[in-house]
Structure formats: C-alpha cells, structure tokens
Amino acid sequence: MCRMAGYVGTGSKLRALVDGSPHGLERQSWAPREMQGAVVNADGWGCAWYLRGELEPCVYRSSLPIWADANRFGLGRTISSSCLMAAVRSATDPLSHALANTQPFVHGPLCFLHNGYVKPFRESIQRRLRRSLGDEAYACVRGETDSEHYFALVVDEWLRAEPGERRAAVALEGATRRLLALTEEAGGVALIAAALVERAVSDPLAVRESEGATPGEGPAGGSVDAGANDGVRTSLVVQRIAVGGSPPSLYVRSAADGWTFASEPLDLETGWAPLEVGAPRVVHVRA
C-alpha cells in the first residue's frame, strides 16, 4: 500500500503535494489517517513532472523514506508543472524494497501510480499476467511488484488502443479489467486506486472547442484550459475498484487552477470528495 497524489491544471509547485500542505505526502508517510494494512510509508518515494511542451515525464525516485530524503526540499521548491504525480511507499512484500519497485512508473508519455495490492500475486497471478503481455509491455517490467505488472498491462492496452483523447482511459479500463479477471480466476483479492497520465500532441480544433471549460466538469471529468497552448494535451485518468475487498481511499478536488487527487485530503479546505468506486474519471489539460 502507499499514499499518492497528483495535479493537473494551470501550474503548481511540487511542494503543494509533498510538504507544503498540512497533510501532504510527507505527513501521510508517517501519520496516514485512512491507510489499510500498514502503519507507515517508509519504503521509498518518488515524483514525476512534465516540462512544458514535452511529451515524456521527468522522474525522481528514492529508496529512502521521504522524511529522510533532504532532496525533497529542493525538488519541492523548484519543480513547477501543469502536471505532477507523487507517491510514498509501503512495500507489500518486505523483500521488494528497491528503487526499481518505487513509483511512479513511466513509459514513453505515460506515468502511473497504484495504491493497493493484488494477492496471491507471486504464487499464481504473476506468471499468467506476464504470459499475456506483448514484447514492449513485458520489457517495461524492471522490478517484481504487483503495481509494476499492473502498469505493464496498462502499457499493453495503450499500445493496442487508437490514439486520441480516450486512449488513456481505454488503456486503464482494459488493464484493470484484465487484472481483476486474473484475480477472480485465482480466487484472490485486488484492491485498486490508480492514476494514469498520458501526454500527447493535441488536435488544434479540439483545443479551440475546449477553451473556457472548467476543470472536472461533467460526470466523466472535463477539460482545463491552461492558457498558452504548446500543442500538447495531458490526460489524467483515476479509478477506484476492487475484487474481494474495499478499494483504497482516493479523493478528488476541482478548483479554478486545476484538478487534484490524493489518497487523503491534503488540507482542510472544502471541495474534497471521495472518488466513486467503479468507472474511471477523466480530465484533460491543454497547455
């Protein structure tokens, strides 16, 4: 299990997610309020951000607890982006404490976070899951965690999907469906709170049509107009779902400057709402 948070919008500092909020990820790493199956998140942390106009994310990972990593101060102060992702980790398997198993996971324009677990993963599900992957998705797996294999399914589905605004949502939905099916076949448990970001070249016509939209509008999400357009679209997809248990907590908040998700509300301000269990929610940012 872990705690995770992310943001898409007009722009924010990384510290808003990490240690610049009353209940940011640094605090959630040692004082989580709604965490299942663990007490602290001391098995590493990581963050990812997208530079303006770039399709592939920058990534920082550490196997240190976030509170022991002095790099977080400089990173939080200097990194500003229209798209940020971060997580603190509590390893389901104590022997999996390694940098390769630390989120976020990335591939090309994709960035992925998963909070939860899949059991019995190593004993039953892992081998069948790997056999179902294409070569490129299989090569993405560098560690041995259930979360990274879940991401490999996402990559596999994304490579098969048609390009466009729905591609990220189709990829996450398809990967989740495959993972849940494997879990049910094994008579196991899968607890999922997931977030996927995709960067892509934007359709200029679609940009014009979305101008003035408010973040998170509509039941499925919405669009954010982040100002000057560099021909790039960011799609964020979040989902909570489970088999054999209750999914981990995940909250969302829509504001004038963007859209934030977090395992637990980052502050006491109004606007946080639990993400409904089931179908994914999608937000698009054009910046």
Q: Which residues are catalytic?
A: 2
- R_g of the chain computed on alpha carbons: 17
CA torsion sign for 103, 41, 28, 78 is negative
The encoded tokens of residue 266 equal: 């980052």
CA torsion sign for 142, 29, 281, 202 is negative
SS3 for 72? helix
Phi-psi region of 108 (alpha: psi -120 to 50; beta: other; left: phi over 0): left
Measured CA to CA, the distance from residue 246 to residue 233 in angstroms comes to: 33
Measured CA to CA, the distance from residue 121 to residue 182 in angstroms comes to: 10
Q: Give the helix ranges, DSSP H, for 4-116.
A: 15-18, 25-30, 71-78
Measured CA to CA, the distance from residue 204 to residue 183 in angstroms comes to: 41
Residues sharing a CB contact under 8 Å with residue 48, sequence separation 6 or more, in sequence order: 57, 58, 59, 60, 84, 85, 86, 104, 106, 111, 197
CA torsion sign for 210, 151, 242, 99 is negative
Measured CA to CA, the distance from residue 144 to residue 139 in angstroms comes to: 12
